[in-house]
Structures are given as structure tokens and as C-alpha cells.
Homo-oligomer: A and B are copies of this chain.
Amino acid sequence: MPRAATTSDVFNAIAEPRRRDILSFLALEERSVGDIVSALSLGQPSVSKHLRVLKDVGLVQARRDGRQMLYRTNLDAMKPLHEFAETFQQMWRRQLKRIKVRAEGM
């Protein structure tokens, strides 16, 4: 069995560094494909393909404006990722607390 498709879930989609870069770039404001190409200095087909993946998992939303397509990050779709990270973050805080308590008891 090969690796799961990049479009299978958010985790596989963000495994690619370039896709994370794109998400960050699109998080603050809507941007055209050309903007992404020049900002991240990637090939245009490459960017389009990455955007396709991100769109398939709902991480970006697209809107046509004349000849260009405007993309933006859909923050809501990050939820699974955030929830996963948050679980461990909470454990980490508890661990720190335990260490602190132990230190105080000495």
C-alpha cells in the first residue's frame, strides 16, 4: 500500500513545505496565482497543482476575478490540525506543571 493521497486529508496536504508556504501567504489576504508564483518563486504549473491539492481538502477557497483566480486560506479547515496539536500542547503544559510541583516539593 503506497502513501495516502495528498488530498486524503489536511495532514497529507500540509506535508509539502511549499504548500505550507502558500497557506501562510494566503492567510492574510486574497491573492492571485501570479502573486504566489512571484512571491514564492515557483513555476506556475507547480503552484496551480499545489493549489488544487489545497482546494481539494478545503484549505483554500477560490474566486474568479476577470482573468485571474483569487485564492485565500480557509482557516476553518485547519481545525483537525489544530486539535491534534492542541492535545499535545495541553499534555506538555501538564508535564511542566508536574515538574514544577516536584521541584517545589524539594
A residues whose Cβ falls under 8 Å from a Cβ of B: 3-4, 6, 9, 11-12, 14-17, 20, 23-24, 27-28, 73, 75-76, 78, 81-82, 84-89, 91-92, 95
Contact = CB atoms under 8 A, between A and B. Distances in A.
Counted per complex, copies of this chain come to: 2
A81 B92 contact: no
Given A3-B3, A27-B88, A84-B85, 4 more contacts: A12-B15, A75-B88, A78-B85, A78-B89
Contacts of A28: 91
A73 B88 contact: yes
28 contacts: A3-B3, A3-B6, A3-B15, A3-B16, A4-B15, A4-B16, A4-B17, A11-B11, A11-B20, A12-B15, A14-B84, A15-B15, A20-B84, A24-B87, A73-B88, A75-B91, A75-B95, A78-B85, A78-B88, A78-B89, A78-B92, A81-B81, A81-B84, A81-B85, A82-B89, A84-B85, A85-B85, A85-B86
